């Protein structure tokens, strides 16, 4: 696969309640030790197939979403390609914190897909 799914996200109106719900449901360790109080769920520490993700609160009071993020080298170029293929940009390329640049688009049926810029390791 040329561009891998690298992150998943669940957001909603009450971030702390979502943190607790998913932590209890799946026995996940949800770490909120960051300035945004974003609930980070690490990838499988034993090297399994699971990828990491996050659980957070929406900033605009919207109902939230469930989405996955695909790693790309150029977020803006991928967003523009999505538009050419019938999608719509929901969030342009945005640096959300140091080393993390994302964007969102809707596919032709309205599903939200996230993009995250591949950063060198």
Residue pLDDT, tens place only, 24-60: 998 899 999 998 899 999 987 777 778 999 999 988 8
CA neighbor of 68 nearest in space, from 1, 2, 3, 22: 3
B/e letters for 21-44, b = 16+ CB within 10 Å, e = fewer, are ebeeeeebebeeeeeeebbbbeee
Distance in angstroms (rounded) separating the CA atoms of residues 54 and 38: 7
Split at pLDDT 50, 70, 90, the class of 74 is very high
The Cα–Cα gap between 45 and 88 comes to: 36
Query: Going from the N-terminus, what domains does the chain have, and what CATH number goes with each?
Result: 5-117 (3.10.180.10)
């Amino acid at each position: 696969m040329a561009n891998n799914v690298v992150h998943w996200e669940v957001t909603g109106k009450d971030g702390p309640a979502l943190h607790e719900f998913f932590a209890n449901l799946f026995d996940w360790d949800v770490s909120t030790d960051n300035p945004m109080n974003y609930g980070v769920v690490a990838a499988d520490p034993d090297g399994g197939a699971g990828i990491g993700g996050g659980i957070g609160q929406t900033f605009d009071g919207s109902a939230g979403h469930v989405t996955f993020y695909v790693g790309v080298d150029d977020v803006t170029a991928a967003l523009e390609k999505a538009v050419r293929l019938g999608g719509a940009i929901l969030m342009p390329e945005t640096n959300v914190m140091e080393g993390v640049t994302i964007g969102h688009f809707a596919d032709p049926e309205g599903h939200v897909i996230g993009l995250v810029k591949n950063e060198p390791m």
